[in-house]
Structure formats: structure tokens, C-alpha cells
Amino acid sequence: MINNNSATDPSSQAVHRRAEELDALDAILPFDRRDQLAALLTDDDVATLKHLAGEGMSENTLRALASDLGYLEGWCRLATGSPLPWPAPEALLLKFVAHHLWDPVKRSEDPSHGMPADVEAGLRLERLLKANGPHAPGTVRRRLTSWSILTRWRGLTGAFGAPALRSALKLAVKASNRPRQRKSRKAVTSDVLAKLLAVCASERLVDRRDRALLLTAFASGGRRRSEVAGLRVEDLVDEEPVRADPNDKNSPPLPCLSIQLGRTKTTTIDDDAHVLLIGRPVTALKLWLANAGIKDGPVFRRIDQWGNVDRRALTPQSVNLVLKARAKQAGLDPALFSAHGPRSGYLTEAANRGVSLPEAMQQSLHKSVTQAASYYNNAERKNGRAARLIV
């Protein structure tokens, strides 16, 4: 953190300068972490992030790289007493694995196994470490990947493909024996969505925003929280109304619009990815935009305690907090739900309603048939006869 009482201290001045340089990335890096990152990162780190932003790297990727880089710098200083070296020697990579993936049974017998207590305490003090026990293997792999990417962008070659590292990672994952966790322990299916919508049914501006957000996130195929947060008015395209029943020309017309997603986690900008919104979600979305006076820029924005709409978009984390807050108001356990819930809930609901997997994937934009099919397999097993031989 920045010490305002030592403005003449060279190290304090360097941190302040880096904080000002990070202002250029205000739209990408969360403002509340700017000062923390400025204290953790080096001048070269900040220069690398600014270069990556200038090269057109996606905001989500850059945000993840900045967060991982801040953690790596903080961990390295506490674990070795020195800044993160470039390129990192193989021994440091192995130390990182040993500190984050360890055997809980071995730790109970040997307190020195795993991350040293002083390193753990330091990371918690700097609000860099929240997890108890060994890290999730996916988190460790992601940070190693970020480390490797940043190394290559500096024109250097690291030891990330070393056989010793691959072997250590494989053995450490096995030893940690950590069960795989779902991104959202419970899916937001239509029955859950109805409960969430019921607690934001008033005409208050914040209720209209959250109602539009929840309906849009679910009905557009279960959009990721980063996609919801990044949605802009310019991405919305009005389409001709469609019939409620495509096979009945006398059925009532429903409003329709398309959402141009551009580059997502599973698509590229060349894919021209888009999904459709039809009916009630369109009405709720347009009502929110009209009442909030939003004609361009971010669709879902912050609202202060006096009901003023900010020009800044909600962050992905804010989207997650909105869903959890509404779950709590609806009498549900917020710990069971996250912003990934509408994504898993959309495919689960599609399976329960007999929508074909290819048709559902056109809306969800899943590229992995295996992953998408897992929701269908679960639905079929619950609705099938195999588990009902004795009831």
C-alpha cells in the first residue's frame, strides 16, 4: 500500500508513479486494486501490461494477467526476498508448485510441508490469499500459464515445459486430492430464476436493471458474467418480431433482438458470434435502458445509493454479487449460486424441455459437445428409468 507520509521516499514515489500509469488501464483493471497492484508490480511489469493493452489483448485476458502477475510478484518477494526474476529458473517454478499444491495429510504430520507459515501470513495480510488448504489445480495451472505468457511477451524463454515441472505438477495434483468444484454449485433453472425475478419486481431503477440483467443472462444462452458486464448498447440489434409459435401464423408476435458478442472465451472476432433474445427479456432490457436514459455505451451500469446511474459498467464481480444478493433476498442460500448459474441452468433447462443439444448450443455458444452434453446426460438420467428400478 502507498504510504502518504513518505512522499519523498524514492520507493514511495515509484509506487505513486506506477499507480498513475495504471490509470491508463482504468477501463480494464479494477480501480479498487490499482494502488495494490502498483505496490506489487515493477516498472517493467506495468510497461508489459500497457504494451499488451496496446496490442489489442482482450480486457478479460489482460485483467487475469494483471491479477496473476500481482500475485506472483507478491508471492516471490515473500518466498525468496526478491522480485520475480525473468525468466524464472526451474527451481522457482518447482517451489511455486510445492507451495500451492500439497498433501493435507502430510501437512498434519509435518507443518513445514507446503507453503511456509510466514509466506502464507504475508499473502493474507496483503489480501492476496483467501483459500484455505492447497490451491485448486486449475488456479495453479492458470497462474503458471500467465507466467509463461508474460515471459514470452518479454522475449524470453522459460522452463515451463521442463519434464521435472510437468512431473511435479502431476504428482502434486494427485497428492492434493482436491475434489473438482462446480463454478456454481446449483444451476439457475427456470424455477430458481422465477424466485430471483420475484424479488426485483418493483419499478425501482435498480430492480429494473437487475430484472433485465437476470433475464438477459439466462435467455441469451447463459452468458458468462464477463459477457454480461461487457455488453454495450452498440451490440444490440433490433430484429423483425417473431411468432410465439413459429408453426402458427396467428400466434402473437414477440419482440426480437440480436446480441453481437464478437470475441468470447470460445469464439474469435472473426466468428461474428451473436445470439437472440425473444419476448419478455427484450421488453425488460428495453425498459431498463429507457428508464436509465442509456443510449450508448455499457448496458448494465452501477447505480449509487441515491439512484443515479453511473457511466461505468458493472464489473464481472458485480454481476456475481447481484445474483448472490437476489438469491439471498429470495430466501435461497447465496453460497450455492454464482454468476455461472444461469449458464449451467440454461442448458439444464433446455435438456429438461426437450430442446435438442445442437439447437441449445447455437444459443449458448458452447464449442465443446462433451461439456454441453454433460447437462443433457444428467437430465436424462434423472428422467430415465435406469435409476427407478426400486422406488
pLDDT digits (tens, 9 = 90+) for 160-218: 988 988 888 888 777 665 555 555 578 899 999 999 999 999 999 999 999 999 999 99
Calpha distance 88→172 (Å, rounded) = 20
What number of H helices and E strands is found in the chain? Answer: 17, 5
Calpha distance 95→179 (Å, rounded) = 23
Mean pLDDT of the chain: 83
H or E segment to which residue 276 belongs: strand 273-278
Q: Which of 266, 315, 309, 314 has its CA nearest to residue 290? A: 309
pLDDT digits (tens, 9 = 90+) for 84-102: 999 999 999 999 999 998 8
- For 190-383, which CATH class? mainly alpha
Looking at the chain, the domain(s) classified CATH 1.10.443.10 span: 190-383
Task: Give the type of residue at 60.
Answer: N
Note the pTM of the prediction, 2 decimals: 0.60
pLDDT digits (tens, 9 = 90+) for 27-69: 556 555 666 777 788 878 878 887 777 776 677 777 788 889 9
Is the distance from CB of 312 to CB of 298 less than 8 angstroms? yes
Please tell me what DSSP assigns to residue 240. Answer: E
Q: Which of 245, 276, 272, 293 has its CA nearest to residue 362? A: 276
